[in-house]
Structures are given as C-alpha cells and as structure tokens.
Amino acid sequence: MRVLISEGKIRDRVRELGTQLSSEYSGRPLTILGVLTGSVVLLADLIRATSVPLRVALISASSYGGTRTSPGSLSVNSSLVPDLKGRDVVILDDIFDTGHTMVSLYEAVKGFEPNSVKSAVLLWKSDRTTVDLTPDYFGFSIPDEFVVGYGMDYNDEFRHLPYIGIPDNDDLIAAGG
C-alpha cells in the first residue's frame, strides 16, 4: 500500500482544524455531528484538539458498502441525532468526494432547526465535486484515488491504519475484494 498522507501530517492538520474551530465557535453552542462510521477516528482526534465546550452527536449516511469503491445510492439515518435547535452544527465526515452525501446531510440537519450548519472533512477530492457546495473546513485536498486508513475502509478493513493509504490490488484481494 502506498502512503498518501502520513500519520504525522494528519495529526498536525487535525490540531490546526481544532484550533480553527475553537476560535470560530468560542462562546457559541457547538455540536460536532460525526458521520458514521468513517469519521470516528477523526471525530475522536478533533474533539481532543478543540478547546471549546461542545456536544458530540452521530448520524449515519452511507453510499459505499462492502467491496464497492465507487458511490451508490445514499441512505441517511438521523435517529441518533439529539436536539440541535439553536445550536451551531459542524457536520464531520471523512471524505468529500462528489459532494452528494454532504448535500443530503445538510438537508437532513436543517430539519433540526440549528442556528448554523457547516461542514468539515479530512479529505476533499475537489476534482470530483459535482455539487454547488464545498467543505467549510478540510484537512487535505487529494487526487481522485480510492483511499483507506484513519477510519476509512474497504470491506471493513484498513480503518485502523494511522495514515491515509492507496491500496493496491493485492491489498484489496487480501481484504476480500
């Protein structure tokens, strides 16, 4: 597997994002809404890098699954989302690809009547974005490659990797693909 973004670079950038969120949301009712399951590693690291009081919530949205490496139809499950009325919400996801997932999440979250909604992602494939929305905060702009690690998976494998990697065919075969 080729390492695209090292553990150290991720750690440094997540700290920068935490500082940025802390500055912008100081004195405001912040909820970070992590998108299951890919964002959990980022969510844990980001809230530790953030110095303002905040709430953490989770939402489920999936357009990939199993051995798929391209998006399919999106399903959103907001049953885990607490009351967001009047709160500032940052939707946190692992990757912004075409942007369709984030657009759907924005619409779902707006129904909870938050004060504001912004998006944060670790990775942004800007060349693949096909919607009129860009992430408000992002860690890294990456090329159009299938990536794993730091919470992102292929067939539920590779989430544990502390870096972002580009798997080769042997990696995918070993993971049941």
Active-site residues: which are they? 97
Place of tokens 């972002």: 164
Joined together, the tokens standing for residue 32 give 């970070």
Residue 52 is classified by DSSP as S
In sequence order, which residues have a C-beta less than 8 Å from that of residue 169 and are 6 or more positions away?
none
Going from the C-alpha of 77 to that of each of 40, 58, 139, the distances in angstroms are: 16, 10, 25
Q: How far apart are CA 141 and CA 76, in angstroms?
A: 25
Three-class SS state of 91: strand
